Amino acid sequence: MAIKNTRLEKAFQNTIDRRSFIGHALSFAVGSALFPLAACSSDASDPWRYAADLRQRIKPPEFPDRDFPVGDFGAVGDGETDCTDSLNEAIRACSEAGGGRVVVPEGVYRTGPIHLLSNVNFHVSDGATLSFYTDPARYLPVVFTRFEGTELMNFSPLVYAYEQENIAVTGGGTLDGNASYDNWWIWKKNRGGEKVPNPSKDRLTALGDAGVPPARRLFGAEGQLRPSFLQPYRCKNVLIEGIKVRRAPFWQVHPVLCTNVTVRGIDVQSPGPNNDGCNPECCRSVLIEDCRFDTGDDCIAIKSGRNADGRRVGVPSEDIIVRNCEMKAGHGGVVIGSEMSGGARNVFVEDCRMSSPDLWYMLRIKTNSLRGGFVENVHVRNVKIGTVGKAAIRVNFYYSDGDVGDHVPTVSNISVRDVTGQEVRQVLALQGYERSPVRDVQITDCRFEGVQKADLVEHVENLVLENVYTDFEG
């Protein structure tokens, strides 16, 4: 039988007393009315009504009913022929004809960068594999892109679109980046897991902080900043559906400054460093559903730019739905940050399954006072956790650089309900700042078992617990 709050409240109280959190404004308003939602729904008591309306507004693009088989343009699926030019020629022909479907049939197609154009559905059929070259020189000349939240001129993503409309990558086939510690990943870590220093990252951050225009932030061959796998940039009406993504150089599905994005039914498996599964950045109206993630970093990470460059662009990620997804290995199931300087709001997560000893958190928000930014209106319901290695819910204002900047982040309006966990090492690990507490968090109708560690609550205001059970005995 569920125990209403008592053990969880005791764990919190023990943590507070033991750490002497004098002056922290921590409240337990069990059964009381929750905070009002900020501009999320006409009915503030039910954010899920807003989510239902949002889901109806996000619609995948439609395409003319005509096919452009890539074999007609010289592509050969023999695993040896370089098909880069043939694939891109088929895309150009399709777009110039007013759109349709570029069809990649069964076979293995060796290729370099693929650049999508408006009104093209790039369809990778069941049994087809796009096998990407790993020679960085093939991804030159540089294009306008992002690396870890900062705009620059860098290697082309493996699949890229810039300022296009009505685009798709679909089908049951495989996109294989062939990344390994013999090529792309070695720019981050060696096989032993030791980090490889890369001064280009610091140089890029410095250029962003100094306000150097992105067109003059030239990297590429000598910079060794890895490209994203699939990146639509400043695009409208995007569909990514059904494909399998394997062995990515860096972030895997990474829409930037896009609107009306559907990511559906994809299978993402890549264990490399920074191999985040799906990272919508500065995007609006995004639906991620029926997907499977098994990654070397966060499964889904919602982002909005890094530090000064993120504030310069100043576009939040907002109106994002994650539903019916499966998360295996990864640093977090659904994550916001750490590149969140433009802010994030109206994030809805429901009906997901998360389990792996190598999955750290169910919900994770990470930031610091160099990033700044805001997170508001994050709602989670009906999530089943098997095993998470660290905590169910983590909010961390001290991520990476800690509290060394002048841009104070804010996090508010988080609700979690109907979540169960079988092996959850810790339930809550919430750390705000004294000058900027985490505000308005409600946990309702949840059950967590296998809990080994007391909850950590630092600088939190209005923490509401209702019908929450944990078996922690400490």
Rounded Cα–Cα distance for residues 384 and 375 (Å): 24
Burial 144-164 (b: 16+ CB within 10 A, else e): bbbbbbbbbbbbbbbbbbbeb
Amino acid at 128: A
Q: Tokens 């617990």, residue?
A: 465
Annotated catalytic residues are 297, 331
